[in-house]
Amino acid sequence: MFEPWEIDLHGHTVVYRMMGDGPPVVLIHGMVNSSRHWRGVAERLAERYTVIAPDLVGHGDSATPRGDYSLGAHATVIRDLLSALGIERSTIVGHSLGGGVAMIFFWQFPERVERLALLSSGGLGEQVSPLLRSAALPGFRRALGVIANRPVLRALRAGGVQTRNVARALGPLETRGARDAFVQTLRSVIDRHGQRVSANDRLYLLDGVPTLIAWGDRDRTIPMEHGLAAHRAVSSSRFVTIPGAAHFPHIEKPEAVAAALGDFIETTEPVSLDETTWRAVLRGRSVARPRAVA
């Protein structure tokens, strides 16, 4: 069963779901999502793998403290969760914001990553939907408090199909802590111009690392071209299109996402990076030289 567990990390509750048996696979969700949104994928992967899906801090049922909601902070909490669970190395999978977290996790803790899978990932280009850009504008936090509160959501849930869909999207932001965490997380990666954090300058570090890039062919939130460009930049990557899916393929087409992930894992060898290997990768692109003194 894909049931929640909780653990105390640094004085804050972190909720996660874990099921299955076999090589570990970590599923990292995006904004206004949680571990429960991976259910359809996790239940299929759990036949062959140990699946771990955390609720990022500020999301789902995890704590919503006033603090750091940067990609690096999320990655560090996942590292600490995996350490507490006794998981040293795993395949890391990230969707949207979670793709950015997954890449930062790899940059920070390369020795813990066997493979990397990015699903409709952020952090690969500037373009993003106008809705997300507007959410980074001043005043959005106050407007969100007016829209995403219990009385309004209750009224929306009692309406037609479209209003119920709106209520379902806003439901995770019902509490003030969740709304604050959402805004802080979003503004750490997006401003009025678009995505402000990019991994493109260090995609070369993924050469030799088994990498899957998958995208819904109807995605209007983050352009598929971002993923195709990353695929061209990473020689060890493969690209998969999820037909009929928009920005949430793991929810819309879980069977196709699980099949793509399963095939990717089964047909690639896990990489093992130690400090010596990582140093060689960095030195291969970086040349240390004396700095001229004026």
In the chain, where the domains are located: 4-125+198-282, 128-195
**Average model confidence (pLDDT) across the chain:** 86
Tens digits of residue pLDDT in 166-188: 455 565 666 777 777 777 777 77
Q: What residue type is assigned to position 69 of the chain?
A: Y
**Which pTM was predicted?**
0.86
Phi and psi dihedrals of 27, rounded to 5?
-110, 120
pLDDT of 171 reads 58
Tens digits of residue pLDDT in 256-287: 999 999 999 999 999 998 888 888 888 876 55
pLDDT of 259 reads 97
**Is 4-125+198-282 assigned to CATH 2.60.40.10?**
no
Tens digits of residue pLDDT in 116-165: 999 999 888 887 777 666 666 676 666 665 555 666 556 555 666 545 54
At residue 1, does pLDDT exceed 90? no
Q: CB neighbours of 193 closer than 8 A, spacing ≥ 6?
A: 126, 133
pLDDT of 86 reads 96
Phi and psi dihedrals of 113, rounded to 5?
-110, 125
- Token reading at 194: 């678009």
Active site (catalytic) residues? 96, 219, 247
